[in-house]
Structure 1
Amino acid sequence: MNEEFRKFFPDVQHQPIIRDLKTKRYWINDNLLKVPVGDKYVNIAKTIIEIIDAYVEAKRLAFDEFIAYISSLAKISEDNTEKAIRFIKQQLQTNVDARVFEIVSYAILKAHYADAVIYWGWNPEQLNKENLMLYKTGRTNANDGGIDFVMKPLGRFFQVTETLDFRKYFLDIDKIQRYPITFVIKTEMDEKKIYEQLRTNAQAVYGIKKIVDRYIASIEEVINIQKLMNIFVEQIKRSKIKEIMEEIVVQSRVEFNY
């Protein structure tokens, strides 16, 4: 952060973070938080802390209400599926919180793939029968460089995103050395148009069709909002609403540190 700050403010003598390497402690330099008011300077550090604390409290209350609401929905979802269905459909929108979208997407896809069975083994005479299992890895929107969902035993990778910037897609593909990857995208754009936009924009930057083709070939599947909605409708027919709601509760409690 200090280096970035220096890039944009080379003439400012103060740096934002002061560190003590011996004690491994650090402080925010409040010399940068002194603002001119009339003929004197006022230190706004304490006010900023109060604002941050108020923001944290507001978010905590919102999470409390959200957890309480979905917990109650999970309990009544067996008897009153309409309310739970309406809630889940509301979360599959372009304007919802990215973390909630990822959690709901995971719950739907986990229920969807759980019905699929794969037979595998080391020889044709001894085959193992196993249901597909989707695992959620890490936290949502963590920017930790990880992959969001992993499927066992097929070894499929899933990445949830809300952008259509091809650079983000190609970066994720590079992370795993072009291993096939499925993108779950918070968009209502048609699946065919998603591929077209990624290819067109990438072609304009790279200029070499062969490079772009190698990246696009690494995209195993794209799952947009419409496809998620279709999968969800199938789960409704299979009476999986309660299972999906309970998974949303579990993942939300983990995500919001409950």
Structure 2
Amino acid sequence: MTTEPQFSEKIQEILDKYFNDDAQTIFNSSDLLKYITNKTKSANSGSKSRSSFGNLYAIYVLLEDYKLKGFIENPNYSKYEGATFGDLFSRQRELPFGSKLQNHALNHRLNEEFRKFFPTTEYIPIVRDLKKNRYWFNENLIIVKVKKKNFNLCEAILEIIEEYIKSKKDSFDKFIEACETLKTIIDHDKESAQTFILSLLSPNSDARLFEIVSYSILKYFYLDQKLYWGFDTTSLNEDYLKLYKTGRTNANDGGIDFVMKPLGRFFQVTETVEVTKYFLDIDKIERYPITFVIKSMESSELLRNKLELDAHKKYGIDVVVHSYMMCIEEIINIPNLIEIFDSSTRAGHLNSILDEIIIQSKVEFNYDTEN
């Protein structure tokens, strides 16, 4: 059985092409290359692994601007007036998977994460003039000195990121193709479709795919549940529960991923058990009851207990902790989702769940636009 080459080997291949015998020394000397290597690990994990586009695209658009303005050959980058935020942001959104990216990477997230990776470094990647809204890439991170000779990493890094994009796009194309193929055989091979969907619920799956699959499963689980409601007992409405996805994953939507009608239940999908994040979501919706769908194999009871214990450590006031914990209406973990999926499959919803995964995935990853 052949093993797929690691993306780090592709990085090494590109560095060898540009820098020959100095490639390894340059890599060892560059925090930026080490950072990019870490951020592109998911290239070898297929469509189900978390992709890192935001920070990589912030690097890409700034270095692309650097190259297009001729600063690889021109030593006067320090005199450059800087790229405008609007141009960088628009370019970021033109790239594959980038049409819904927000401004966080350009404004602070890249610099913050880079500092976490390299706490002792004196350089951050993005330099900004907030008054003029101009941006530069820190040239200290793309010019490496080896044997008294300066090497500019700009073109090599651009090619590395382009190869990463290609790798992730190829993986997603294969994912959509697999979904479409399963649709054609689902009537006589339900087991393959079930196994495929369950694989998307693994703890190391891409956060966006996990949210999409969770939504698709829960939507058809609640669809069979009927509710009678009304303003008086003589005139009742009969409705099935309906789950709505409120927008793109990772959107700045106040902590609401799904909303259920007519009950008005709120759902938030997460992969962390950091109590501050949960309580922030609760505060955003003014402590309205919320159900958390957590990408974890731990039991719902254990997850709730962990949150409460961490909350006591953080806040120390029982009444405050209690008021937050009472807002957690339900915790749905991966084993719960698997049980719900099995139930929905028995109810005949397997085909519909797979259709929903395809539809939501194409929307989320801008698949139709790019193809």
TM-score (norm 1): 0.89
Structure-2 residue corresponding to 1:97:
206
Amino acid at match of 2:188: D
Which of the residues 200, 212, 215 maps onto 1:106? 215
CA drift of 1:90 comes to: 1.5
Query: Which letter maps to 1:43?
Result: N
Shift of 1:204: 1.1
How far off is 1:21 after superposition?
A: 7.3
Tell me, in whole angstroms, the C-alpha distance in 2 between the residues paired with 1:38 and 1:82: 60
Partner deviation per Cα, 1:51-90 (whole Å, 9 max, x = no partner) = 1111111111011000111121123223321111111121
Alignment partner, residue 126 of structure 2: 16
Question: Is 1:55 the equivalent of 2:164?
Answer: yes
One of 230, 249, 268 as aligned partner of 1:159? 268
3-state DSSP of counterpart to 1:93: coil
Q: Is the 8 A contact 2:126 2:135 kept in 1?
A: no
Q: Distance in 1 between matches of 2:333 and 2:310?
A: 19
Whose relative contact order is higher, 1 or 2, with alpha carbons under 8 Å and at least 6 apart?
Answer: 1
Alignment of 1:95-244 (within 5 A): 95-142=204-251, 145-244=254-353
Q: CA deviation at 1:236?
A: 1.7
- Which position in structure 2 is the counterpart of 1:254? 363
SS in 2 for 1:92: coil
| 1:153 to partner: Cα distance | 1.4
Does the CA-based 8 Å contact 1:16-1:32 persist in structure 2?
Answer: no
Structure with more strand by fraction: 1
Once structures 1 and 2 are overlaid, which stretch shifts more, 121-130 or 219-228? 121-130
SS at match of 1:189: coil
Q: Give the Cα–Cα distance (whole angstroms) in 2 for the partners of residues 15 and 232 of structure 1.
A: 44
Match of 2:173? 64
Q: Which TM-score applies when normalising by structure 2?
A: 0.63
Which deviates more, 204-213 or 36-45?
A: 36-45
Identity %: 48
One-letter amino acid of the structure 2 residue matched with residue 224 of structure 1: N
Q: Identify the residue that residue 245 of structure 1 maps to in structure 2.
A: 354
Segments of 5+ residues of structure 1 without an aligned counterpart are: none
Pairwise CA RMSD: 2.5
Q: How far apart in 2 are the matches of 1:57 and 1:146?
A: 32
How far is 1:129 from its partner?
1.5
Range with greater deviation from structure 2 (120-129 or 42-51): 120-129
What secondary structure sits across from 1:53 in the alignment? Answer: helix
Instruction: Report how many residues are paired.
Output: 255
SS in structure 2 at match of 1:64:
helix
SS of the residue corresponding to residue 281 of structure 2 reads helix
Q: 1:70 to 1:97 in 2, by over 3 A?
A: same
Partner-residue secondary structure (3-state), 1:198: helix
- Asked whether the 8 Å contact 2:230–2:237 carries over to 1, the reply is yes
Residues 1:28 and 1:158: Cα distance change in structure 2 (over 3 Å): same
Residue segments in structure 2 that go unaligned for 5+ positions in a row = 1-106
CA distance in 1, matches of 2:210, 2:185: 22
Q: Which amino acid aligns with 1:68?
A: E
